[in-house]
Structures are given as C-alpha cells and as structure tokens.
Amino acid sequence: MQEVFWEEDPSETDGIYSALGRIRKVLESRVTYSENQGAIPEDEDPVLWFLDESKEGNAMLYASTAVEALRAKGIPARYVEGYFLSESAPTGEKGQAELTGNDAHAWVEIYFDGIGWLPADVTPGYYYNVASLQKMVGSPDSVQKNVALENNSLSAEQITSVENRKSKAGEAVLPVLRSVSLFLLGLLGVLLILLTLLVIAAEAARIICLGPAAKKQQKERPGGRIRRTEARIYQYLCLWGIDAGLGWETAATDAELARRFPAVEPGEYTRVCHLIEKHIYGEILLSPYEERTLNHFLEKLTEPVPGCSWKMRLKLRYACLRRVNTKKKKRKHSAFQQK
C-alpha cells in the first residue's frame, strides 16, 4: 500500500482530504468499476488482486482498498457495509422505501479529531455527491476493523446472506438465555420458599416453648423450677463460650460476665450461685423474690450484646428449643463447698 499510493505522492500536505484525493486518483489510473468482477483465488489477497491482477472490482473492493491505503498513511479508517438509497427509489406514502440486496453498498469512515467518524466514498460516481453520503445507511455490526476479505466473490447478495446468518445466530442464542434465566429464577424461588418454611417452623416451635410450655413449667414444684433455671443459665453461658460451673471459679466467672455483659453488675453472678447452692445443698426453698433474681439474671444472658454476630443471635433466639437435663445428679464440686 505504501508503494502503490504514497511513494510517488507529490502532495506536500498530510491532510485527510489530500490523502483521499490521492487515493481516488490512483484508483482511477489503475482499476475500473464493475459490479460483476471475476472470482478471486483463495490464496490471493483480495486487495492486491484487485490492484495488480483483475484491475476491476465493485464498491466493496474500492472501500477495502481505500481503508488499507489510509491506514498505511497513518489515518484512522474503517470499512462499512450498508445500503444506498437513490433519489429515484420508490417510496411509500410515509416516505418509507424498501431496500434489497441490490441496494447494497460499501464505503469508508474516517476519524476526524474533535468530530468523530465521517463517511467518505472512493467508488466512481459517489465522489462529490454529499446527498448520497447522507442516504447511505450502515447495517448493524457492519463496521469492520479488519478489512481483509476472505470470500472469492463480493456480490451484493453475499452481504444479505451474512446479515441473515448473524440474525439467525442471535435468534438461536435468545431461547437458551431465556431458558437459563427461567431456571435460575425458579431455583431461587424454591430456595426462598424452603427458607421461609424453615423460619416459620422454627418460630412456631419457639412460640410453643415460650407460651404453653412456659406456663406448664410455672406449675412445676419450686425445686423443679429452680433446677430448670440453673440448667438454662449454664446452657447460655456455654453458648457464650464461658466455661462455668456451680461452685467452680465463681469470682473469675463473675468478673468475666461483668466485663462482657453491660447489663450484668459485678457480684450478680456470685449472688445467683449462692441462691442456687442454698436450694441444692441446703435443701431450702427460695422465696418468690429470690426466684425472680435467678430469672432476671437468665434473661440478661439471653439478650445479644453490642457487636454480637448474626450466628450468635440465631443461637440465642432458638436456644429455648433445646431440652435441658434437670434431674438430680451427684456434683463433683460438692466437696469444694463443704470446705
């Protein structure tokens, strides 16, 4: 391209218009326009065959050659295929015209700084017809970054066949995408339904535990209620990751609870331990006020603290569903209390 178009260029300017004029002049001297040029051999470059061998070609070959020449000059250019609406073309009542493969055309678009891509034509008969440039309509996806033409024939019918193949490919992909989207939406819907049912079941079980079951526990004997409260206290301490037991490192556990729980006062856990020991080891029934002290301390352990994770909140909310052992058993630390 450099040798054919630019080595003998007498122009001293590097402007786009002078370059376009040079391309038109060289093409006029080397080739002629023909809509029915012969087939191009498979092993030949279409543009070089057009310039050196066949010496004739249609609008697609003219536009392809011009794009190659402009790029060789360092001017941004691209190849565009579309349709040309002539002034003599019949139009309907609303100014609509029917375009066919016979109206296919090809031209060049050149990039102008600050303006963008503008059309230009090097095909004989379209040089200075500004109105014709305005009537050329680019087809979808017709801008070609690589203007090398692989087909032997460049007839207008081939343009429509390529467009039809693209359209069919797009139509084949759409049903697949639609099916995948519907499947994913259905799967998401099923998961949401299962999650909703799980939450409903958990909340229903929780309501039963805190409602009728709680009322039933209030009717238990005082000793059973106190043992149940004790078991719940140490169940929640275990959930919080606090290793505690009645009569075991009471002072250290008391300090840890006061540090981690804003609602727990220093000495409160020690008071609770003394009340439980009073009932278990002393076999003394607690007064209603003392039972309320145990229940109030248990309520503080069931409430989330600031910065509590969502997993811990779930554990606290549904800890009531877990049964606790309230049967009497021999305590390994009873000897500690007798000292």
Q: Which domains does the chain have, with CATH numbers?
A: 2-154 (3.10.620.30), 220-338 (no CATH)
Confidence class for position 193, pLDDT limits 50, 70, 90: very high
Higher pLDDT, 219 or 46: 46
* Tens-place pLDDT, residues 50-62: 888 888 888 889 9
Distance of CA 13 to the CA centre of its chain: 51
Q: Name the 3-class secondary structure at 47.
A: helix
The number of CA neighbours under 13 Å toward the Cβ of 150 is 3
Say what percent of the chain tops pLDDT 70: 74
Exposed e or buried b per residue across 91-124, where buried means at least 16 C-beta atoms within 10 angstroms of its C-beta: eeeeeeeeeeeebbbbbbbbeeeeeeeebbbbbe
Instruction: Select, from the ranges 60-64, 94-98, 175-179, the one with the highest average predicted confidence (pLDDT).
Output: 60-64
Does this model's pTM top 0.85? Answer: no
Q: Name the 3-class secondary structure at 139.
A: coil
Residue 152 confidence (pLDDT) above 60: no
- What the block records as the tokens of 105 is 């055309």
Q: Output the DSSP codes for 213-246.
A: HHHHHHTS-HHHHHHHHHHHHHHHHHHTT---BT
Cα–Cα separations (whole angstroms), residue 110 to 13, 16, 70, 105: 17, 8, 9, 17
* Tens-place pLDDT, residues 237-270: 998 989 888 888 899 999 999 999 999 999 999 9
Q: What are residue 78's phi and psi, to 5 degrees?
A: -145, 155
- Distance between CA 51 and CA 65 in Å, rounded? 8
* Tens-place pLDDT, residues 4-14: 888 776 666 67
pLDDT of residue 55: 87
Cα–Cα separations (whole angstroms), residue 229 to 19, 59, 199, 224: 96, 94, 27, 9
* Tens-place pLDDT, residues 221-244: 777 888 888 888 999 999 898 988
Burial, 84: exposed, middle or buried (Cβ in 10 Å; 0-12, 13-18, 19+)? buried
- What the block records as the tokens of 114 is 């600050």
Which amino acid would we find at residue 311? K
Confidence class for position 274, pLDDT limits 50, 70, 90: very high
User: Using an 8 Å Cβ cutoff, are 112 and 16 in contact?
Assistant: yes
Q: Output the DSSP codes for 76-113.
A: -EEEEEEEE--TTS---TTS-----GGGEEEEEEEEET
Of 120-124, 185-189, 333-337, where does mean pLDDT reach its minimum?
A: 333-337
